[in-house]
C-alpha cells in the first residue's frame, strides 16, 4: 500500500527527515512514535501534501503511484486521509458541506455517482452515532468553537465517512480525556480492515492500549531508529526515548566520520 524509500525532506533549508524507509501493507496498523521534534508530524504532512516541504531525495509509492507528484486533493481522492493534530477552523463553512464536498469529490474521482441527499445523511448519521457526536455539530462551522475533543472526534468522523485506503492519524490522542480517547480509539478500530492501512503517529503509548499496532517504529533524528512489534511501545513507555535517541545519534556520528 505505502512504500517510503530513503525520504529526505527539508523545511526552510533545514533537514527534518533524513532517510526514512517504511513499508505498510494493506490490513496493517503501524505506529510511528518518537520524541518531540523527531519529524513525526513532518512525515504525516509530507504524505498529505502540505506546501513548504522540500523533498531532496527519496520517493513515496502509494498503491503503485508516485504520491509526491500528486497535489493534496488528488491524494485525498486516491484514498489518502490525514487526521490533523490541530484541525483547522473554517468559519462559515458548515461541517456537513465539507463532508459532502469531500465525499462527492472522492466518488467522482472513482467514477461513482454522487450520493443523493437522503443516502448521504443516512451515512453521516450512522457515523455520528459511532463517534457519539451530536447531530447539531453537522450544521456548525467546521471545527469553529469545537472543544479539543470535539475537533479530534470530527477528524475521525470525516475519516469514517470518507473511508480512505490509507489513514494517517497525527497525534489524534493528544489533548483527549480518557472517555474521549476510548471513543476515538473505537472509531479507529472500527476502520481496521484488510483493505486499509492505518498509520498512527503518536508521542505516547496510551492510544496503543486501545489500538494494538502490528508494527511500531521509533523516529529519531529524522530516521526510523528502531522498529519492532507492539512490545516496543511498552518498552518505550517504561524506558523513555533517551536510549533510542542515543543510539541514533551514535549512528549518525559514525556515518559522518566515515569508514
Partner 1 sequence: MMNVDLYRSQFAQTGPRLVGARLPWLQQARARAFERFAELGFPTLRDEDWKYTSVAALAKRAFKFAPASLNGVSADQVGELALAASHLLVFVNGRHSPGLTRLGRLPRGAEVGSLAAVVGDRPDRIEALLTCDAEAPANGFTALNTAFWADGAYIELAAGCALDEPIHLLFVTTDADLAVQPRNIIRAGVGARVEVIEHYVGANDAGYFTNAVTQIEAGVGATVIHTKLQQEGLRGHHIADIRAEQRQGSRFTSQSFALGGLLSRNDIATRLDAPGCETTLIGLYLAGGRQHMDHHTRIDHLQPNGTSREFYKGVLDGASRAVFNGRVIVHANAQKTDAQQSNRNLLLSDDAEVDTKPQLEIYADDVKCSHGATVGQLDAEQIYYLRSRGVDDASARALLTYAFAADLATRVSCTPLRTRLETLLRGRLPEQVKELL
Chain positions contacting partner 1, by CB under 8 A? 48-51, 71-73, 75-77, 81-82, 84, 87-88, 90-93, 97-98, 100-102, 104-106, 109, 141, 158, 162
Residue whose CB is less far from partner 1, 157 or 244: 157
Are 181 and 150 in contact, with CB atoms under 8 Å apart? no
DSSP codes of every residue in 233-249: HHHHHHH-SHHHHHHHH
Grid coordinates belonging to 114: 454522487
Give the span between the Cα atoms of 44 and 93, in whole angstroms.
25
SS3 192: coil
Residue whose CB is less far from partner 1, 109 or 182: 109
What is the closest distance, in whole angstroms, from the C-beta atom of residue 129 to partner 1 in the complex? Answer: 21
What is the closest distance, in whole angstroms, from the C-beta atom of residue 250 to partner 1 in the complex? Answer: 37
Residue whose CB is less far from partner 1, 74 or 234: 74
CA-nearest of 157, 143, 175 to 81 is 157
Residue whose CB is less far from partner 1, 133 or 233: 133
**250 to each of 18, 221, 235, 254, 257, how far by Cα in Å?**
15, 11, 20, 6, 11
What is the closest distance, in whole angstroms, from the C-beta atom of residue 146 to partner 1 in the complex? Answer: 14
Give the span between the Cα atoms of 23 and 146, in whole angstroms.
35
- Give the number of other Cβ atoms within 10 Å of residue 69's Cβ: 10
Are 98 and 138 in contact, with CB atoms under 8 Å apart? no
What is the closest distance, in whole angstroms, from the C-beta atom of residue 48 to partner 1 in the complex? Answer: 5
Residue whose CB is less far from partner 1, 104 or 251: 104
What is the closest distance, in whole angstroms, from the C-beta atom of residue 16 to partner 1 in the complex? Answer: 18
Grid coordinates belonging to 37: 521534534
What is the closest distance, in whole angstroms, from the C-beta atom of residue 47 to partner 1 in the complex? Answer: 10
What is the closest distance, in whole angstroms, from the C-beta atom of residue 84 to partner 1 in the complex? Answer: 7
Residue whose CB is less far from partner 1, 159 or 211: 159
Widest CA span of the chain, in angstroms?
66
Residue whose CB is less far from partner 1, 49 or 213: 49
End-to-end CA distance of the chain: 36
Are 46 and 9 in contact, with CB atoms under 8 Å apart? yes
Amino acid at each position: 500500500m505505502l512504500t517510503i524509500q530513503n525520504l529526505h525532506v527539508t523545511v526552510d533549508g533545514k533537514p527534518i527527515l533524513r532517510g526514512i524507509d517504511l513499508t505498510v501493507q494493506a490490513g496493517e496498523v503501524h505506529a510511528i512514535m518518537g520524541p518531540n521534534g523527531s519529524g513525526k508530524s513532518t512525515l504525516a504532512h509530507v504524505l498529505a501534501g502540505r506546501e513548504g516541504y522540500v523533498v531532496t531525495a527519496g520517493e513515496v509509492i502509494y498503491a503503485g503511484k508516485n504520491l509526491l507528484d500528486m497535489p493534496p486533493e488528488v491524494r485525498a481522492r486516491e484514498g489518502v486521509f490525514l487526521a490533523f493534530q490541530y484541525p483547522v477552523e473554517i468559519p462559515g463553512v458548515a461541517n456537513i458541506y465539507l463532508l459532502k464536498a469531500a465525499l462527492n469529490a472522492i466518488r467522482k474521482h472513482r467514477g461513482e455517482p454522487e450520493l443523493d441527499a437522503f443516502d448521504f445523511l443516512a451515512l453521516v448519521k450512522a457515523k455520528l452515532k459511532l463517534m457519539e457526536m451530536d447531530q447539531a455539530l453537522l450544521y456548525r462551522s467546521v471545527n469553529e468553537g469545537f472543544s479539543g475533543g470535539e475537533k479530534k472526534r470530527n477528524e475521525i468522523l470525516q475519516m469514517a465517512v470518507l473511508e480512505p485506503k490509507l489513514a494517517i492519524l497525527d497525534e489524534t490522542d493528544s489533548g483527549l480525556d480518557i472517555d474521549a480517547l476510548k471513543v476515538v480509539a473505537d472509531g479507529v478500530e472500527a476502520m481496521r480492515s484488510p483493505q486499509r492501512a492505518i498509520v498512527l503517529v503518536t508521542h505516547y503509548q496510551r492510544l496503543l492500549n486501545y489500538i494494538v499496532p502490528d508494527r511500531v517504529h521509533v523516529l529519531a533524528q529524522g530516521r526510523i531508529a528502531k522498529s519492532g512489534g507492539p512490545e516496543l511501545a511498552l518498552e518505550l513507555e517504561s524506558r523513555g526515548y533517551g536510549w533510542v535517541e542515543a543510539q541514533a545519534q551514535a549512528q549518525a556520528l559514525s556515518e559522518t566520520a566515515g569508514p
